[in-house]
Amino acid sequence: MKAKIFLFVSSVFVIFSVLFISCKDDGDTSKPVIDLIEPAEGDTLQIGGEHGIHFEMDLSDDVMLGSYKVEIHNNFDGHDHTRAFAGEAVPFSFERSWDVSGKKNEHVHHHDISIPDTVAAGDYHFMVYCTDAAGNESHVARNVVLSHDAGEHDHDHDDDGDDHDDHDDHDHAD
């Protein structure tokens, strides 16, 4: 009888130990948050524009950000990416990463992405990836159109009527 009680108590102890250990905190498992402000879904972006793409977003993480990456690639053929192009225009492709480590929140605003005059107009995907310090990754995808006929973005971010910012809120984290 004592052996059965001992076996029962030991079994209960093992079960509770396993449950307690499996419920421990495994560290940062939540993905960072991306609030992509510009470009918006369906925006038309200027090919060969003087000022580059207006890029603006807010990044946040509950523990610590790591980096973000912007990738732009064509969507001419439903992601087959094997179509040959005649003439001098070639599909635009862009990929670049920026370091934002050491911060929990970051407002990003810049015009560092330029689209050369020689790229093919059409439908593209604008992708933003953010990785936190623990390696968790999130992404946002936008459908955009590259066009030679698109207008330049209004660079008057302070709404005072002149054509420049009166303050520098541009984060150029390189």
| Residue-wise DSSP of 113-147 | ----TTBPPEEEEEEEEEEETTS-EEEEEEEEEEE
Cα–Cα dist 145/50, whole Å: 17
pLDDT higher than threshold 70 for residue 11: no
Residue 45 forms beta bridges with which residues? 146
Does the pTM surpass 0.75? The reply is: no
Cβ(123)–Cβ(78) below 8 Å: no
DSSP state, 40?
P
Q: Are strands 65-74 and 105-110 parallel, antiparallel or unpaired?
A: unpaired
Q: What size, in residues, is the chain? A: 174
pLDDT confidence tier of residue 172, bands split at 50, 70 and 90 = very low
Q: Which amino acid is at 2?
A: K
Tokens of 155: 């660079």
Phi, psi torsion values for 43, nearest 5 degrees: -60, 150
Question: For 143, how many CA atoms within 13 A lie in the half-sphere containing its CB?
Answer: 7
Q: Which of 9-23, 42-56, 74-88, 114-128 has the lowest mean pLDDT?
A: 9-23
pLDDT value at position 151? 66
Which domains, and CATH codes, for the chain? 27-147 (2.60.40.2550)
d(CA 91, CA 142): 17
The SS3 assignment for 22 reads helix
* Spatial distance between the Cα atoms of 42 and 39, rounded to a whole number of angstroms: 8
Q: Is the pLDDT of residue 22 over 50?
A: no
Average pLDDT over residues 130-155: 87
